Amino acid sequence: MASRNGLSEKKALIIGCGIAGPVLAMFLQRAGISAVIYEGRPAPRDEEGAFLNLAPNGLAVLDQLDVADQVVAYGSPTTTTIFQNHRGKRLGENPETTTLIKRGLLNRALREAAIDRGITVEWNKRLVDVEITPQRTVVARFEDGSEAHGDFLVGCDGIHSRTRRVVMPNAPRPQYTGTIDCGAFTRLPHVKSTDGAMYMTFGLKGFFGYQVVPDGEIYWFENFWQEAEPDRAKLEAISTEDYKARLLELHKDDHDPICDIIRSTEGLIARWPIYDLPPLDTWHKGPVCLIGDAAHATSPHVGQGASMALEDAIVLAKCLRDIGEIERAFETFEKIRKERVERAVKQARRTGNQKSPGNAFGRAVRDLILPFFLKQGVKQVQWIYEYRVDWDEKVPALLG
């Protein structure tokens, strides 16, 4: 399909081959715009990382590329989320269905789909600089001394985006939210399948969640609160056994099988500080645009980082397809997306703050009122889950 506004001769440079990059490249291809993806890592690392829940609004984007089935095949459905207190008392649930998937396998499915469609991925291309030429085109320069020329560039390179730092050096930096997250996988014969339910516990000193998928593997994560921002390298350098000991101490007074799950984990426990990104004045500068976490990173507490990035990809491609001038397309994209994603970032931060453990009185009050707020909360996030973007619908001219 050719671009409706003569952009079919244009070339896009996409920085980052995570979630948003391959999806954007496939939508641009559908719009008749060629794209090359540049990834800083030397090779795929599909076995690394933890997992995420891909929400219905994100899957709806992939469905329009006919790749949703490939992605779902790598995951398992989460049909409900059940909330408990530290004693195991059930406080309420969120019945929304999502797809539980390992991050590396999601990356692999999207990358392979893009490559199968003829899209080029270049590895070991760590961005060091971006030049905007007098002709309003771009030159991307990489650490290996090579460079790439294109008509526009899109930064899909995550919360610590090099693209953002280079092109918008005065933009706000990611903010530490006071929470350290971790995730891992294990197996325990006596912990049976949760039948599609993700169990989340407000522990005395941390927040713990787990789901047992049909083949018996346990996906688990943990959040604990630390006021001082940790050094990422030092956090990652802690041995698995020492980190397990720390988590076991945090959850020693919480219900079973939390400590059993932690204790049984033999593989790496991935861990990281949680950040979000203060609102940027703009997501674009000249022929350079940011999408996904590079533009509006959100903490994971409402499970929308990946899905928001996927929404960005389809909306940006539509704007470039329907609006004849690149920078006007970027402006329109931002107008369409900014209010929605900034609202989601605020919602995630509020949700994360509610997980923080308090004193005994505060926990008792929370346990009493949380069932009511969970019911209200399901309604409050429908605006997130029900959002859909129709590829065939033209971007309104008035937004251009």
Spatial neighbors of 344 by CB under 8 A, at least 6 apart, are 298, 302, 304, 308, 384
- Residue 102: pLDDT band by 50, 70, 90 thresholds? very high
What does the pLDDT average to over 178-200? 95
Which of 61-65, 80-84, 166-170, 344-348 shows the lowest mean pLDDT across its residues? 344-348
What does the pLDDT average to over 178-195? 94
What does the pLDDT average to over 43-47? 92
The structure tokens 């903010």 sit at 175
Q: Is the pLDDT of residue 107 over 60?
A: yes
pLDDT digits (tens, 9 = 90+) for 139-151: 999 999 999 999 9
For residue 172, what are its two tokens?
Answer: 């706000």
- Residue 400: pLDDT band by 50, 70, 90 thresholds? very low
Spatial neighbors of 134 by CB under 8 A, at least 6 apart, are none
Q: Which of 263, 254, 298 is nearest to 278 (CA)?
A: 298
**pLDDT at residue 345, as a whole number:** 80
What does the pLDDT average to over 323-339? 94
Q: How far apart are the first and last CA of the chain?
A: 21
- Residue 95: pLDDT band by 50, 70, 90 thresholds? confident
What does the pLDDT average to over 369-375? 55
Domains of the chain with CATH codes: 7-71+102-174+277-354+383-399 (3.50.50.60), 176-275 (3.30.9.30)
pLDDT > 70 fraction of the chain, expressed in percent and rounded: 87
What phi and psi values does residue 8 have, to the nearest 5 degrees? -65, -20
- Residues linked to residue 152 through DSSP beta bridges, in sequence order: 12
What does the pLDDT average to over 158-163? 96
Q: What is the pTM of this model?
A: 0.92
**pLDDT at residue 49, as a whole number:** 86
Which of 1-15, 19-33, 320-334 shows the lowest mean pLDDT across its residues? 1-15
What does the pLDDT average to over 24-29? 98
Amino acid identity, position 236: E
User: Is residue 288 within 8 Å of 153, Cβ to Cβ?
Assistant: yes
Amino acid identity, position 228: A
The structure tokens 């949380």 sit at 370
The structure tokens 């945090």 sit at 250
The structure tokens 């270049």 sit at 122
Q: Which residues of 153-163 are buried (b: 16+ CB within 10 A; e: fewer)?
A: bbbbbbbebbb
Q: Which of 1, 32, 307 is nearest to 151 (CA)?
A: 32
Q: Is the pLDDT of residue 267 over 60?
A: yes
For residue 226, what are its two tokens?
Answer: 């630390």
Which of 108-112, 193-197, 224-228, 296-300 shows the lowest mean pLDDT across its residues? 296-300
**pLDDT at residue 14, as a whole number:** 98
- Residue 353: pLDDT band by 50, 70, 90 thresholds? low
Give a three-class secondary structure readout of the chain: CCCCCCHHHCEEEEECCCCHHHHHHHHHHHCCCEEEEECCCCCCCCCCCCEEEECHHHHHHHHCCCCHHHHHHCCEEECEEEEEECCCCEEEEECCCEEEEEHHHHHHHHHHHHHHCCCEEECCCCEEEEEECCCCCEEEEECCCCEEEECEEEECCCCCCHHHHHHCCCCCCCEEEEEEEEEEEEECCCCCCCCCEEEEEECCCCEEEEEECCCCEEEEEEEEECCCCCCHHHHHHCCHHHHHHHHHHHCCCCCCCHHHHHHHCCCCCEEEEEEECCCCCCCEECCEEECCHHHHCCCHHHCCHHHHHHHHHHHHHHHHHHCCCHHHHHHHHHHHHHHHHHHHHHHHHHHHHHHCCCCHHHHHHHHHHHHHHHHHHHHHCHHHHCCCCCCCCCCCHHHC
Q: Which of 247, 246, 274, 271 is nearest to 178 (CA)?
A: 274
Q: Is the pLDDT of residue 4 over 80?
A: no
- Residue 1: pLDDT band by 50, 70, 90 thresholds? very low
Q: What is the mean pLDDT of the chain?
A: 90
Q: Is the pLDDT of residue 26 over 80?
A: yes
